[in-house]
Amino acid sequence: MKNIATILSIVIISLSLVRCKNEPKSAKLKSQKNTVQYAKGFSIENYKGYSVVTVKNPWPNANKNYRYILKEKNGIIPDSLKKNTLISIPIKNIVVTSTTHIPSLEMLSVENTLIGFPNLNYISSEKVRARIEAKKITELGNNKTLNTEVLLDMQPDVIIGYGIDNSNPTLDNLQKNGLKVMFNGDWNEETPLGKAEWIKFFGALYGKEKEAKEIFSKIEKDYLNTIKLAKKAKTQPTILAGDMFEDRWYLPKGSSWGSLLLKQANGNYLWQETSGTGSLSFSFETVFEKAAMADVWITSGQFSSLSEMTNSNPHYAKFKAFKNKNVYSFSGKKGKTGGVLYYELAPNRPDLVLKDLVKILHPELLSSYKPVFFEKLK
């Protein structure tokens, strides 16, 4: 998959549990508190012997919630919840369908449970690539047309899917054939910490909620500390983002994930006051009129050198940031088969993305830091 702040209010979803007279006491509520803080798209509620994971925003304008019951060994599920997808935990193997799912597995040290993935070449992780080369992970084709026959033979404990709208016939078909499918909406989160918090989704599947919480807490702490550090900067460089695709210039809207990161790095992104979380689309002339004198240019990642840029469009050379060789891209950091590291890891590690941007905009604040994703184009 190639295609990404104010703290959100805690999402609380109440479950009404009706206990029948003959229902054992072990099915009583243990805790009703949602353990997710920043992410808007899911919640986790822990009960005695089971957890309830509710995914409510797996794609824009989703028209229903998806509820999954994670059952521990000997856990007893109330009758009122038995109509939902039931998954026994901890799971022993998994199929995921987006590269953004892989860092969570690796951070939780369960990457060895991954047994299938569509488009294996997109994966950048060195550990997972080693398992691919050892033939321990099966190629499943295209995400929209997953190889149903292979999956039915594999019988994974769970398939983590994603959708871009309400039409997901392949995943629906897999469920009709008895496989367990869970939707993951990490890509649809609007804030950096909201995206990163989806590690808790995977932690719940493996009985590693404590570990997932600790990992996320460290990411959160480092991220917030970097925001504080960026505020010490004495300048606020102006920023141009994106570049031309066909005949339009695409760049992030003001409330998008990318725009929020630029703002929190104490940069002056020239379109940060626009509304919305998607992409803006302009003509070259419109962008040049506003950003000709921008100090820094963060490209979309489709170019790996300045010469590639001017070969694509000679007019790029007219920008001040280009003339001063202040153009940055994440395109150079790739896995063995060409998968771009940024697409895979950045949503899970906003702390690293933010440090990269602070290093670009305010190098004096992070003098010894080496960027993980971004490089200055030569």
Averaged pLDDT, 83-109 = 97
Confidence of residue 201 (pLDDT cuts 50, 70, 90): very high
pLDDT in tens, 238-264: 999 999 999 999 999 999 999 999 999
SS3 144: coil
SS3 243: strand
Averaged pLDDT, 341-350 = 97
- Enter the DSSP assignment of 238: E
Measured at the CA of 204, the angle between CA 95 and CA 132, to 5 degrees, comes to: 25
Averaged pLDDT, 327-345 = 94
pLDDT given for residue 325 in this prediction:
97
SS3 206: coil
Averaged pLDDT, 135-155 = 92
Per-residue pLDDT for 25 more than 90?
Answer: no
Say how far apart CA 333 and CA 374 lie, in whole Å.
8
Averaged pLDDT, 107-133 = 97
pLDDT given for residue 167 in this prediction:
85
Confidence of residue 200 (pLDDT cuts 50, 70, 90): very high
Say how far apart CA 321 and CA 314 lie, in whole Å.
14
pLDDT given for residue 97 in this prediction:
96
SS3 267: coil
Please state whether the peptide bond connecting residue 90 to the residue before it is cis, i.e. omega within 30 degrees of 0.
Answer: yes
Say how far apart CA 45 and CA 43 lie, in whole Å.
7
Token pair of 157 as six digits:
């404990």
Per-residue pLDDT for 102 more than 90?
Answer: yes
- Enter the DSSP assignment of 6: P
Per-residue pLDDT for 306 more than 80?
Answer: yes
* Architecture of the domain spanning 231-376: 3-Layer(aba) Sandwich (3.40)
209-230 and 350-361 helices, crossing angle to 10°: 10
Residue 373 · residue 346 · CB < 8 Å:
yes
pLDDT given for residue 198 in this prediction:
98
Q: Which residues belong to CATH 3.40.50.1980 in the chain?
A: 25-220, 231-376
DSSP codes joined into one string, 16-68: -----TTS-GGGS-S---B--SS-SSEEEEEETTEEEEEE--SSTT--S-EEE
DSSP E strands in 56-166: the ranges are: 66-71, 85-88, 94-96, 114-117, 138-139, 141-142, 145-146, 159-161
> Is the pTM above the cut of 0.75?
yes
Averaged pLDDT, 116-142 = 96
SS3 154: helix
Q: Which region holds residue 74: left if phi is over 0, alpha if psi is between -120 and 50, else beta? A: left
* Single-letter code of the amino acid located at 74: N
pLDDT given for residue 32 in this prediction:
64
Residues 6+ apart with CB under 8 A from 324: none
Q: Of the ranges 18-22, 34-38, 312-316, which one carries the lowest mean pLDDT score?
A: 18-22
Confidence of residue 168 (pLDDT cuts 50, 70, 90): confident
Closest to 51 measured CA to CA, from 32, 23, 64, 25? 32
CATH 3.40.50.1980 fits 25-220, yes or no: yes
Closest to 128 measured CA to CA, from 159, 162, 103, 95? 103
Averaged pLDDT, 131-151 = 92
Average pLDDT over all residues of the chain: 90
Averaged pLDDT, 335-353 = 96
Say how far apart CA 338 and CA 100 lie, in whole Å.
16
